[in-house]
C-alpha cells in the first residue's frame, strides 16, 4: 500500500461541496436549530469521557455527508493504515512516522519498552532521593534544556498536570536569549539540580548554547567528574551527546521515526516523568493510545479527529476562514495552544503537494487562543463582532480537581454562554442601536471532558495530532517535514558569523546589512 496522493479539488466530493457551499453559506444556525429539534444529538459524539458537541457549526447533514465522502475519495483510510503500519510516509525525509508506536502498550517495539524501563528506573531514583548530587544531597530541581518539540510538549504537560506533581521543581529553558537562561538558573543550587538536555538532533543552536552555558556555570563550583550526577540527555545523536560529556548511563535514546513535535511520548517526556512520576506518565501515554485506537477503528462519521478535521477543512477551504481559535476553560491548559501551534502549523504550513506541484488552494490553519475566561476579556470581542469568521474550539472539564463547585459552575457557565452568544448573537431580540448588534452564527465546537487527568490529557493531545494528520492527508501535503524552518537555521548561522566578525560583506540584503551595522 502506498501513501495516497490525491488532489482534493479534483474529487467529486470537492465539486459537490463547492456547489453545496453556495446553497448553504447564508444559512443561520439559529434556524437550523429551530427546524431540527434533534440537531444537538445528531451532531454530537460521545466517546469514553469525552462529549463533543459540534452542532453549533454551519453545516447540514448534507455538508457532513459530502465531507465524509471527501475523506473517502482522498483515501484517508489507506493513509491512516500507512502511518500506523510504519510505512515511510514522511517521504521527503524517507522516514516512518511512529509516535503512536511509543504508546502502543499492547505491542511496544523492544527499544521503546526498554527506554520506558530506563525512564522508570531513572525517575524513581531521582524522585525517591536515591539519586545523589555531587555532594551527596538529593535532587530538588530539574531543568529541561531544549526547544520546539523538545520543550513545548514537556513544558505544557508539566503545567497541565501540576495537580499530580511531586516535590521536584521542574523548569524549562528554551530560548537562546541569555537573559532567559540566567533567570532560570540564577537561584538554583548546583548541588541539588539535575539538567536534562533534550535535542533530537543535538545540533540545535539554542539548545547547545544553553547547555554549554549551564555546563560552564555548573563547573564554576563542581568538577568535570561531577557532570555524571547532574546531566542527562535525550537524543538520536548519541555520539554528539557522548562528546558533550554525558555519562552513557544518563543517555536516553530517540529515533528518527519520531518527529520532534510528536516526541513528548518518548524520553523527551523525561522531565514530565520526573515531575509527576512514571505511573502518571504511563497513564498519559495510555490515554493517547486509547485515542489512537478510536481514530484507527471508528467509522469516519463517529471519529472525533476525522469529524473535527473535516469541519476545519469546511471553514478553511470553503468559507475561507483565516484562522481557528482554541480556548481551554482550564488554567492548567494555558500552554496548550502554544504547543498545538507547533504541531499544527509546523506540520501543515506547506504549499507544495505530495506530487511536488505548487498548491492552488489553502492549506495549514493558523491556530491561536488562550484560556477562558481570561480570553473573554481580551480578544473575544473580535470573534463576536469582528468581520472575520473564526471557528473556535471550547475545551472544558465537567469537574474541577479541587472540587470548588462555585468556581466550577461559573467557569462552565461562561464557557457554555460564550458558545451560545456566538451562535445566537442578538438574533430575534430588540437592540438599542446598530453598535449592539451581534450577528451570531459563529461556529464553535465544545469538547466537554469528565476531568483533567494524565489519561484524558493524553487523549486530548492525540486527538489534535490525528486531526492535523487528517487535514494534511486531505490537502495532499507532507505533514511530517519542516524544510522552511531548516532554511532559517542555516541563515542564522551565516548571520551570526557576520555579527561576530563585524563584517557584513557576505550578507546579500542591504536592509539586513544595515541592521547588523546598528550593533556597532
Phi/psi class of residue 454: alpha, beta or left (left: φ > 0; alpha: ψ in -120 to 50)? alpha
The set of cell numbers assigned to 392 is 473556535
Interface region with ligand F6P, contact rule CB under 6 A, candidates 182-190, 198-206, 329-337, 396-404: 198-206
CA gap 339, 468 in Å, rounded:
13
CB of 162 to ligand F6P, least distance (A): 23
- Of 458, 516, 512, which is closest to residue 49 (Cα–Cα)? 458
**Contact between 204 and ligand F6P per CB under 6 A:** yes
User: Of the listed 294, 346, 350, 466, which one is catalytic?
Assistant: 346
- Of 202, 228, 204, 199, which is closest to residue 215 (Cα–Cα)? 228
> Is residue 160 within 8 Å of 331, Cβ to Cβ?
no
- Which uninterrupted H or E stretch holds 330? none
**Contact between 280 and ligand F6P per CB under 6 A:** no
Own/partner contacts of 515-520, CB < 8 Å, gap of 24 or more, are none
Is 377 one of the catalytic residues? yes
**Contact between 154 and ligand F6P per CB under 6 A:** no
**Contact between 150 and ligand F6P per CB under 6 A:** yes
Return the residue of 57, 90, 123, 207 that touches ligand F6P, per CB under 6 A: 207
**Contact between 458 and ligand F6P per CB under 6 A:** no
User: Of the listed 377, 490, 493, 520, which one is catalytic?
Assistant: 377
- Which uninterrupted H or E stretch holds 170? strand 169-173
**Contact between 269 and ligand F6P per CB under 6 A:** no
CB of 519 to ligand F6P, least distance (A): 25
**Contact between 148 and ligand F6P per CB under 6 A:** yes
Is 180 one of the catalytic residues? no
Indicate the residue among 127 and 462 with the shorter CB distance to ligand F6P. Answer: 462
Indicate the residue among 146 and 277 with the shorter CB distance to ligand F6P. Answer: 146
Indicate the residue among 199 and 363 with the shorter CB distance to ligand F6P. Answer: 199
Indicate the residue among 199 and 392 with the shorter CB distance to ligand F6P. Answer: 199
The set of cell numbers assigned to 26 is 447564508
CA gap 358, 444 in Å, rounded:
32
Q: How would you class 106 by CB atoms within 10 Å of its CB: exposed for 0-12, middle for 13-18, buried for 19 or more?
A: exposed
**C-alpha to C-alpha distances, 74 to 59, 243, 453, nearest whole angstrom:** 21, 47, 35
**Contact between 485 and ligand F6P per CB under 6 A:** yes
CA gap 349, 152 in Å, rounded:
18
Is 230 one of the catalytic residues? no
CB of 253 to ligand F6P, least distance (A): 13
Size of the site for ligand F6P (CB under 6 A): 14
**Any idea which residues carry the catalytic annotation?**
346, 377, 489
| Site for ligand F6P, rule CB under 6 A | 147-150, 199-201, 204, 207, 260-261, 346, 482, 485
Amino acid at each position: 500500500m502506498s501513501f495516497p496522493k490525491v488532489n482534493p479539488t479534483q474529487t467529486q466530493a470537492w465539486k459537490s461541496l463547492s456547489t453545496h457551499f453556495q446553497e448553504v453559506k447564508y444559512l443561520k444556525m439559529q434556524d437550523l436549530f429551530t427546524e431540527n429539534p434533534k440537531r444537538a444529538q445528531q451532531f454530537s459524539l460521545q466517546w469514553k469521557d469525552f462529549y463533543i458537541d459540534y452542532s453549533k457549526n454551519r453545516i447540514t447533514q448534507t455538508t457532513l455527508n459530502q465531507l465524509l465522502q471527501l475523506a473517502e475519495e482522498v483515501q484517508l483510510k489507506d493513509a491512516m493504515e500507512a502511518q500506523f503500519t510504519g510505512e515511510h510516509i514522511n517521504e521527503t525525509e524517507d522516514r516512518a512516522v511512529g509516535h503512536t508506536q511509543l504508546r502502543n502498550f499492547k505491542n511496544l517495539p523492544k527499544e521503546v519498552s526498554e527506554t520506558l524501563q530506563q525512564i522508570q528506573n531513572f525517575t524513581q531514583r531521582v524522585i525517591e532521593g536515591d539519586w545523589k548530587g555531587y555532594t551527596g544531597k538529593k535532587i530538588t530541581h530539574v531543568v529541561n534544556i531544549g526547544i520546539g518539540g523538545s520543550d513545548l510538549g514537556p513544558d505544557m504537560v508539566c503545567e497541565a498536570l501540576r495537580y499530580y506533581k511531586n516535590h521536584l521543581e521542574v523548569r524549562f529553558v528554551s530560548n537562546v536569549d541569555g537573559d532567559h537562561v540566567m533567570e532560570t538558573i540564577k537561584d538554583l543550587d548546583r548541588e541539588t539540580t539535575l539538567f536534562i538536555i533534550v535535542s533530537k538532533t543535538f545540533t540545535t543552536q539554542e539548545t547547545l548554547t544553553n547547555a554549554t552555558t549551564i555546563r560552564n556555570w555548573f563547573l564554576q563550583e563542581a568538577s568535570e567528574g561531577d557532570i555524571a550526577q547532574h546531566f542527562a540527555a535525550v537524543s538520536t545523536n548519541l555520539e554528539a551527546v557522548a562528546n558533550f560529556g554525558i555519562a552513557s548511563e544518563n543517555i536516553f535514546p530517540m529515533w528518527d521515526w519520531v518527529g520532534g513535535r510528536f516526541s513528548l511520548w518518548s524520553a523527551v517526556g523525561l522531565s514530565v516523568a520526573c515531575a509527576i512520576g512514571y505511573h502518571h506518565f504511563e497513564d498519559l501515554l495510555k490515554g493517547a493510545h486509547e485515542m489512537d485506537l478510536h481514530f484507527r477503528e471508528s467509522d469516519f462519521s463517529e471519529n472525533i479527529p476525522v469529524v473535527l478535521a473535516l469541519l476545519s477543512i469546511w471553514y478553511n477551504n470553503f468559507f475561507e476562514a483565516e484562522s481557528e481559535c482554541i480556548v481551554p476553560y482550564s488554567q492548567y491548559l494555558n500552554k496548550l495552544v502554544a504547543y498545538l501551534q507547533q504541531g499544527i502549523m509546523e506540520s501543515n504550513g506547506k504549499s507544495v503537494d505530495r506530487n511536488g506541484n505548487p498548491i492552488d488552494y489553502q492549506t495549514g490553519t493558523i491556530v491561536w487562543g488562550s484560556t477562558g475566561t481570561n480570553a473573554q476579556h481580551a480578544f473575544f470581542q473580535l470573534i463576536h463582532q469582528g468581520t472575520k469568521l473564526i471557528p473556535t474550539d471550547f475545551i472544558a472539564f465537567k469537574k474541577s480537581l479541587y472540587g470548588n463547585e462555585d468556581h466550577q459552575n461559573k467557569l462552565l457557565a461562561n464557557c457554555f454562554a460564550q458558545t451560545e452568544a456566538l451562535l445566537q448573537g442578538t438574533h430575534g431580540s430588540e437592540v438599542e442601536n446598530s453598535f449592539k448588534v451581534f450577528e451570531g452564527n459563529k461556529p464553535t465546537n465544545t469538547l466537554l471532558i469528565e476531568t483533567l487527568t494524565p489519561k484524558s490529557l493524553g487523549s486530548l493531545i492525540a486527538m489534535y495530532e490525528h486531526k492535523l494528520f487528517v487535514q494534511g492527508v486531505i490537502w495532499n501535503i507532507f505533514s511530517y517535514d519542516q524544510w522552511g524552518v531548516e532554511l532559517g537555521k542555516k541563515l542564522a548561522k551565516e548571520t551570526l558569523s557576520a555579527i561576530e566578525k563585524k563584517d557584513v560583506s557576505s550578507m546579500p540584503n542591504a536592509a539586513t546589512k544595515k541592521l547588523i551595522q546598528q550593533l556597532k
